[in-house]
Every structure is written in structure tokens, then in C-alpha cells.
Amino acid sequence: QVQLVESGGGLVQTGGSLRLSCAASGIAFSLYDMGWYRQAPGKGREWVAGSTSGDYTTYQDSVKGRFTISKDSAKNTVTLQMNDLKPEDTGVYYCKAEYMRSYWGQGTQVTVSS
């Protein structure tokens, strides 16, 4: 059974930091492209950052220089370090694993107060 479990969300003030983690089980982690997405209230889900199976990382323009995605293949985890948070970063953050098909986590809430 495939599981992606996110953690680390919370309430933080503008300029603060949070570190999200996604623990994957039931998949051959090294084969998967991993990504973080978010969904703000009343909006669609959007891609935030990705790390390919070959560890190539990409970011949405609005988070470049503030967010860092990284993987620990020994622990089957992908993290998103978020610094200098802004109110527009508020939303539910989801982890996604993709290799031939996609799997999603249940999401973790991030709220940035102004």
C-alpha cells in the first residue's frame, strides 16, 4: 500500500520559516519524481517545487530563492524548507510522487499571517 504522509505545517508570521516533510512508503522511492504542490483557499492546486529521480530540482518563480526541496533516499523522505514566508504562501501543501502513475499525500496546512 502506497502512503505519502506530510508533516510540518503550521501557523507562522510573515518572514518566518517552516520545514515540511513527506514520508513515502510502498514505492521504490529512487525511481520517483517528487514534488510539492499547494492549494490556496478558493484556488486550484498549483505546483511549487520538484525534484526528479536524478535529483534535478525546479521551482515556481514565486518561491525561487526562498524554498528548497531536498530528498533523503535512505529515509524515503522529501522535504521543503520554506524561508521568508509571505501571506500568499498560505495554503494546503501536498506531496506528490510520480513514476508511471501519481500518488498524493493528504496535505498539511500552512498559514502565514501578516
pLDDT band at residue 75 under the 50/70/90 scheme:
very high
pLDDT tens, residue by residue, 6-28: 999 999 999 999 999 999 999 99
The mean per-residue pLDDT over the stretch 30-50 comes to: 97
Q: Distance from CA of residue 4 to its chain's centroid?
A: 11
Would you give the end-to-end CA distance of the chain in angstroms? Answer: 40
**What's the pLDDT at 106?**
97
Matching residue, cell 483557499: 41
The mean per-residue pLDDT over the stretch 52-81 comes to: 97
The mean per-residue pLDDT over the stretch 49-62 comes to: 97
Q: Considering the chain, what percentage of its residues have pLDDT values greater than 70?
A: 100
Average pLDDT of the chain is 97
- In terms of C-beta density within 10 A (0-12 exposed, 13-18 middle, 19 or more buried), how is residue 102 classed? exposed
> Would you list the DSSP string of the chain?
--EEEEE--EEEETT--EEEEEEEESS-GGG-EEEEEEE-TTS-EEEEEEE-TT--EEE-GGGTTTEEEEEETTTTEEEEEE-S--GGG-EEEEEEEEESEEEE---EEEEEE-
pLDDT band at residue 70 under the 50/70/90 scheme:
very high
The mean per-residue pLDDT over the stretch 26-41 comes to: 97
